[in-house]
Amino acid sequence: MSGGGAASALGLDGERPPTKTRTAVSNRGYRWRCGEVLMTRITLKGKVALVTGAGAGIGRAIAQTLGRAGAVVGVLDCDRKLGNETVRLMTKDRSEAVFIRADVSNVQQIKRSVTSLLRRFGRIDILVNNVGVAHVGSALQTSEADWNRMVSINLSAAFHCLRLVLPDMLKRRHGSIVNISSVYGLCGGADHCAYTATKHGMVGLTRSVAMDFAREGIRCNCVCPGTTDTPMARWGWKIWGGGDIDKARRRLEEKIPIGRVAQPEEIAQAVLFLASDASSYCTGAILAVDGGWTCA
Ligand SMILES: NC(=O)c1ccc[n+]([C@@H]2O[C@H](COP(=O)([O-])OP(=O)(O)OC[C@H]3O[C@@H](n4cnc5c(N)ncnc54)[C@H](O)[C@@H]3O)[C@@H](O)[C@H]2O)c1
């Protein structure tokens, strides 16, 4: 262990070094090392975390990152194969993880899974409301069924999950909730009516929960990722590029100040900071991790 004193009080003790570092290259050829610095310093030893939508993309990277920092992680996903694969990767990485199958559009399934995790580990210290799905269309192109599905998965699921973990967090007067919104939670997204509305909702939910429970030891913060290389993003690029994913991605990267899309690990680093005691004075924070997209 290194870094005692004040660093230790903030949970910044030295921990196991990361097993892997990913390199990303911008469209101008700059190389970036992703997700290295904080992972070696923040510890979540003894904490139990629940990450929704952790079977792929950003959710998987968050689960892996929290696991490497020492947390026991509940990997919640509706896809058994994907969820089990996340657990397998984490176990290989010497992290402790358990898969929980649930479709978050079903409130009963959410209740069952959160309760089972609470029963098994006796607590949930960190909740990451990551699950989200995309939908392309203006208000007129969004059916009532599409709208209801988007609201239930992208927004209501977070509301139900936090209502289930809050009583236990309040009893212990300690807990960290991190909601995953999007740059479309900060500005309008053309052709993304339901997605944009739900992502703005996540920002409002974050601020409201932060204010209501700030004096009771609960922090609630929000990460707004820019375009990140995940199965969801690739699905969008395929539509946008008329089947040519690489062309769509290159066109998009020209518009991002940093000149490239994010790697999931880079979003996970921001979540790790907000989930941990290193961000002990942050609540209600809305953190854009977007390569400069929203400052343009
Ligand atoms: N990828 C991006 O560019 C981007 C940008 C901004 C914000 N986000 C947000 O980040 C979050 C994660 O996105 P991603 O790109 O990693 O998505 P993804 O589609 O790559 O992965 C989502 C995971 O959620 C699971 N899932 C989907 N519906 C579910 C349901 N009903 N119940 C339980 N699990 C379900 C899927 O099986 C999958 O494992 C989402 O909230 C998304 O809106 C993503």
How much is the average pLDDT of 70-89?
98
Q: Which two tokens stand for residue 43?
A: 């510890």
How much is the average pLDDT of 93-106?
98
Q: Are residues 176 and 256 in the same domain?
A: no
Q: Is 2 domain-assigned?
A: no
Work out which ligand 1 atom sits closest to the CA atom of 105. Answer: 31
CA proximity to 95, closest of 130, 119, 60, 58: 60
Q: Are residues 124 and 167 in the same domain?
A: yes
If one counts the domains in the chain, the total is 2
Q: Is 150 domain-assigned?
A: yes
Answer for the pair 78, 102: CB distance below 8 angstroms, yes or no: yes
Looking at the predicted structure, is the pLDDT value of residue 208 above 70? yes
Show Cβ contacts of residue 204 under 8 Å, excluding neighbours closer than 6 positions.
Answer: none
Rounded to whole angstroms, the Cα distance separating 94 from 110 reads: 27
Q: Are residues 186 and 218 in the same domain?
A: yes
CA proximity to 123, closest of 168, 160, 162: 168
Q: Are residues 52 and 123 in the same domain?
A: yes
Q: Is 27 domain-assigned?
A: no
Q: Are residues 127 and 195 in the same domain?
A: yes
Find the 11 Cα to ligand 1 centroid distance in Å: 29
Q: Are residues 199 and 95 in the same domain?
A: yes
pLDDT for the residue numbered 33: 67
Q: Are residues 110 and 215 in the same domain?
A: yes
> Quick check: helix, strand or coil at residue 60?
helix
CA proximity to 55, closest of 101, 11, 9: 101
Show Cβ contacts of residue 61 under 8 Å, excluding neighbours closer than 6 positions.
Answer: 263, 264, 265, 267, 268
Q: Is 211 domain-assigned?
A: yes
Q: Is 34 domain-assigned?
A: no
Q: What is the CATH number of the domain that holds 81?
A: 3.40.50.720
The boundaries of the domain holding residue 84 are: 39-226+264-289
Band (4; pLDDT cuts 50, 70, 90):
very low
Q: Are residues 76 and 128 in the same domain?
A: yes
Q: Is 11 domain-assigned?
A: no
Q: Are residues 133 and 242 in the same domain?
A: no
Work out which ligand 1 atom sits closest to the CA atom of 53. Answer: 24
How much is the average pLDDT of 29-44?
67
Work out which ligand 1 atom sits closest to the CA atom of 229. Answer: 1
Looking at the predicted structure, is the pLDDT value of residue 254 above 50? yes
Q: Is 29 domain-assigned?
A: no
How much is the average pLDDT of 161-175?
98
pLDDT for the residue numbered 24: 76
Find the 52 Cα to ligand 1 centroid distance in Å: 9
CA proximity to 74, closest of 173, 83, 232: 83
Residue position matching structure tokens 């921001």: 270
Q: Are residues 219 and 176 in the same domain?
A: yes
Q: How many CB atoms lie within 10 A of CB 160?
A: 18
Q: Which residues pair with 127 in a beta bridge?
A: 50, 177
Burial 218-252 (b: 16+ CB within 10 A, else e): bbbbbbbbbbbbbebbeebbeebbeeebeebbeeb
Would you say the pTM of this structure is higher than 0.85? Answer: yes
Find the 111 Cα to ligand 1 centroid distance in Å: 20
Helix (H) or strand (E) holding 243: none
Q: Are residues 68 and 159 in the same domain?
A: yes
Q: Is 243 domain-assigned?
A: yes
Helix (H) or strand (E) holding 212: helix 193-213
Q: Are residues 183 and 68 in the same domain?
A: yes
Looking at the predicted structure, is the pLDDT value of residue 144 above 70? yes
Active site residue 281: no
Q: Who lines ligand 1 at CB under 6 A? A: 53, 55-59, 77-79, 82, 103-105, 130-133, 153, 180, 182, 225, 227-228, 230-233
Mean per-residue pLDDT of the chain: 91
pLDDT for the residue numbered 36: 53
pLDDT for the residue numbered 238: 92
